[in-house]
Structure 1
Amino acid sequence: MLAVSVPRWLHAWAGLQVGFAVFIGFAVLFGWLIARVGGPWVDRAQARLAREQAGAERYGWRPGTDADGQLHAAGCRIFAPDGQLRRILVGEYQGRRIRMAEFVHTTRGRYLPTTWVNHLVAIELPVRLPELAIGPASVVGDGAVVEPGTSRVEVESEDFNRRFRVVGADDRYALAMLHPRMMEWLLARPPVNLRVSGNLVVAFAAKPWTVPQALAALPVLSGVVDLIPPFVLADYGRQVR
């Protein structure tokens, strides 16, 4: 029997082909497992989200517009400067005009872009007030980015300082807003990220909008609006155009 000598390069090439085939096989198997296991979970999550986004009309919330651009401006300040609103709803809560929407923006990852869906729920004010951000310390954190021209504000309540972070451009205005009754109200409620932006008091979160989230945020927002001192509206407010 004749011995056949196989060149080393052919051995290496065959090894590469086998390795590539094994890799492709594992990739196909992994994709199949993900589809079989993850697919139903994604379907259930999407179905649950659809249920929680349904029924807005029962509360008098109807499709509308952000005519003056204030909700979009708030979303740009909070999340990203190049995002867009979708699913805009308007209505009333305890006699005050409200508006809410999802705020969608895209970030460029190393390999693929990622789309983020956030939400905004807002009550309108009769005047425009300076910017003021109030958020739970556990969410905002000590390393949170502070916008140019703004700074952290410390209030007299150590309990409030531990549980919340306040950022604004005017300490006197921030302290006038965060009087003892306002701080007591916020401390007694579930923590919500809030921002006074233009003529809106906005609650926001980095998740899609749902009816239960809006129903949870609106009482907190309404209480905050009730507790804004009249002199703050008169001294710091600017006319809504």
Structure 2
Amino acid sequence: MGLKNKKKQLISTRRKLITKLSPKSPISEQFRTIRTNINFSVVDQEVRSLMVTSSGPGEGKTTTAANLAVVFAQAGKRTLLVDADMRKPTVHYTFGLTNTFGLTNVLTRQMELAEAVNPTDVEHLHVLPSGPIPPNPAELLGSRAMQQFFEMVMEEYDLVVFDTPPVLAVTDAQVLANKCDGTVLVVSSGKTEIDAATKSKELLVAAQAKLLGVVLNNKKSKDTQYYYYYGAN
């Protein structure tokens, strides 16, 4: 990779983790607002597992999941970000990690959780990449091993954030939906079609997902070059 490409990748990564690199920015404040909305969205219980998904690819679900994980960790919660997109994993890029091992290794009992997770330079935040891409992602997510994984991480962390594949592309998100305390659907302003967003919501509800709200991504503000994120209950 050339020096110019490396510089572009670094700038892109910094932009994606704005809550870490620019915690006082308006965008970071929006993520903290979403965090507050999530905390108050379920009255009778604490949200300890959160699934972040979208209708289709390229709508910003991984960026949203990563920044939400950061702001929850910044609030003092022991947080684990899990790349459960075992088809096109990208969380490791965001944090400058390799994807040599991760979730798939833990689910197939090749590694212990403690060996597979990666610490980050954000206090209280750990990241578990996808690991090698398996031939049967949906089956793995719905397996007994996944249930045991849930039980294990609940003992170790206050909050687990799952980045999952798009709802309309594959069934993976639907398989995981009813296991999590809450689901956030990311839609991209000017890109996500209303029909696609509606269909995604219907599929998640049918899968017994606890849909907490929608994040509107890439909403351009007139007063800034940045893209804003809005949380809605």
Give the strand-richer structure, 1 or 2: 1
| TM category, shorter | under 0.3
- Greater relative contact order (Cα < 8 A, sep 6+): 2
- Largest Rg, 1 or 2: 1
Per the normalisation by structure 2, the TM-score is 0.27
